Structure 1
């Protein structure tokens, strides 16, 4: 059966997306604190799908070998996600392979999670790669976080302790804001202060 048939048609499913370090977590935390709405996070689901002994974990080890095992956690032989990110960042073919593996798995898991909240009229799904991974069809509307590249860059440098060059490269791996804007319903302006997007959220939720 088509997994999309599991979705409740009259449910409001908001897909929240935006570029890396654009402020999605801050906005998600605000919604979690002020609104009684379930929040599903694609990144959290992705982590679950590559835990030891899962299907995703086994396939990744088959492809990359033991080089991606976190040696600091030998007891559970967990994947070193930072090392994995570094590898796929430098090797486009590896990036393409892992996206083909994980994106459908995450999407199916996200749909399963939606069905758990079938009685909730509204849910928010935080999906960083919503457009890149083609999650549009499970959303009833898409909210895009707007943030200038310079602010993204500074946040990335501070958060991940990387160089300016690496920060720009990480940002440029994703679709540009201009491209994402074309397919989004709501823009949450996170360019200067929080008042703009807070006002928008209060009006819409």
Structure 2
């Protein structure tokens, strides 16, 4: 069963993803894969260096993310050039991981911008980790040291809470304790594995 997992910034999606992995789900995290495909020694990193020059490497030969970020976030054409290198490599890894999964496996795609991408219908189920906007902002202030202005801008840059809830087949509300969250994830996991079998 293929499941899309999403949630707004500071909703606790990463924690839910980790709990699902503990429960045996195969979690496919596009952000992690995007890092993996440009590790030192990979064809992905070679292609990035060909396109952007050796100044995007650290002294150790790894990708210097801040240096590359400074280039691509200032120039949309350069950002698209980077995406044209990285996205197909990430997609290949996703296909490999999905093909390695067994028919009984729960395959969870951790996708922060699932509501924005329009890809929700491609999954058997969509799990949305939900918190009120004010909770998101408070968490970013407390846990990430952001200013209120920055935190609110990050929330505005994503789909609205209503847009995310509109694509949900299962909602995990995350305003309580970690134990409450774990209990709710267990319920959703049981429902998903029940639907799969």
TM-score, normalized by the shorter chain, greater than 0.5: yes
Partner of 2:89: 105
Q: How has the CA–CA distance of structure 1 residues 150 and 141 changed in structure 2, closer, same or farther, with 3 Å as cutoff?
A: same
Q: Which deviations, in whole Å up to 9, do the C-alpha atoms of 1:122-176 show, x marking residues without a partner? A: 2222122334455446521111111222322333344444433333333333222
Deviates more, 1:100-109 or 1:144-153: 100-109
Cα distance in structure 2, aligned partners of 1:86 and 1:145: 31
Aligned counterpart, 1:165: 149
Output aligned runs, 1:7-22, within 5 Å. Answer: 12-22=1-11
Instruction: Calculate the aligned-residue CA RMSD, in Å.
Output: 3.0
The residue correspondences of 1:7-46 to structure 2 (distance < 5 A) are 12-33=1-22, 35-46=23-34
Query: TM-score normalised to the size of structure 2?
Result: 0.75
Does the C-alpha gap of structure 1 residues 25 and 200 become closer, same or farther in structure 2, counting only changes over 3 Å? Answer: closer
Using the alignment, how far apart are the partners of 1:154 and 1:118 within structure 2? 40
Q: Decide which of 39, 56, 59 is 2:44's aligned counterpart.
A: 56
* Residues 1:174 and 1:81: Cα distance change in structure 2 (over 3 Å): farther
Structure 2 CA distance for partners of 1:120 and 1:131, relative to 1, 3 Å: same
- 1:1-205 matches, within 5 Å, as 12-33=1-22, 35-70=23-58, 74-75=59-60, 77-85=61-69, 88=72, 91-133=75-117, 135-136=119-120, 138-194=122-178, 195=180, 198-199=183-184, 201-202=186-187, 203-205=190-192
Quote the residue 1:5 is aligned against: none
Looking at structure 2, the residues matched to 128 and 151 of structure 1 have their Cα atoms a distance apart, in angstroms, of 17
TM-score normalized with structure 1 length: 0.72
Q: Where in structure 2 are there 5+ consecutive unaligned residues?
A: 193-197
Q: 1:147–1:189: 8 Å Cα contact kept in structure 2?
A: yes
- How many equivalent residue pairs? 189
The answer as to whether partners of 1:188 and 1:197 remain within 8 angstroms in 2 is no
Listed as ranges, the gaps of 5+ residues in structure 1 are 1-11
